[in-house]
């Protein structure tokens, strides 16, 4: 069941374990902190859970935002020249109209200045990891489609 495998504090599907967590798992207000390395510098990035909902069929929705206290990450011009100011993310799993079919949406809105780095490969890998975990737990049968991304850029 998706809600059992994708707990807020269980981030194995992302490939990035949190260095710390606080609050109660799956309860808005919970936080998880990760160490991120960019430009040879390590940053602590904290996510705040702002919404969690689940249905009896296993469908769920998690919404996060980056803690505003997280420092701005600046990448020099030689490596792309941009600054990263935060993000908001939604992870949603839901049953479709087709019996025993589930869709998983990982939607991320980011605030970047300059040319943003491409996170699509990491997000697609995360979705593939979700399928792998569910398969190992005996919760996934049938054929899965390959994860894919769409990109929308908004100039400010």
Q: What is the DSSP letter of 132?
A: H
- CA dist 65 and 11 (Å) reads 16
Q: What percent of the chain has pLDDT over 70?
A: 85
Domain boundaries, the chain: 2-136
- DSSP H or E segment with residue 123: helix 120-136
Per-residue pLDDT tens for 136-155? 877 777 767 777 777 666 55
Q: Are strands 41-54 and 20-22 parallel, antiparallel or unpaired?
A: unpaired
Q: pTM for the complete prediction?
A: 0.76
Write down the mean pLDDT value for the chain.
78
Checking phi first, is residue 131 left (phi over 0); if not, alpha (psi -120 to 50) or beta? Answer: alpha
Mean pLDDT of the region 41-47: 81
Strands (E) located in 55-132: 60-66, 73-75, 82-95, 102-114
| Contact criterion met (CB below 8 Å) for 116 and 141 | no
In CATH terms, the fold of domain 2-136 is: Alpha-D-Glucose-1,6-Bisphosphate; Chain A, domain 4 (3.30.530)
Per-residue pLDDT tens for 75-125? 777 766 778 788 888 888 887 777 777 778 888 888 878 776 677 787 788
| Contact criterion met (CB below 8 Å) for 103 and 94 | yes
User: How many angstroms from the chain centroid is the CA of residue 40?
Assistant: 23
What's the token pair of residue 103? 């869709």
């Amino acid at each position: 069941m998706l809600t059992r495998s994708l707990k807020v504090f269980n981030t194995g599907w992302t490939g990035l374990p949190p260095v710390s967590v606080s609050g109660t798992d799956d309860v808005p207000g919970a936080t998880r902190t990760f160490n991120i390395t960019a430009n040879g510098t390590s940053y602590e990035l904290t996510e705040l859970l702002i919404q969690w909902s689940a249905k009896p069929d296993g469908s769920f929705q998690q919404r996060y935002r980056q803690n505003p206290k997280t420092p701005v990450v600046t990448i020099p011009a030689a490596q792309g020249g941009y600054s990263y100011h935060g993000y908001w993310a939604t992870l949603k799993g839901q049953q479709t109209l087709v019996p025993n079919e589930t869709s998983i949406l990982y939607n991320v809105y980011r605030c970047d200045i300059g040319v943003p780095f491409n996170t699509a490969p990491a997000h697609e890998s995360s979705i593939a990891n979700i399928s792998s975990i569910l398969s190992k737990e005996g919760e996934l049968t049938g054929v899965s489609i390959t994860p894919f991304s769409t990109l929308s850029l908004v100039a400010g």
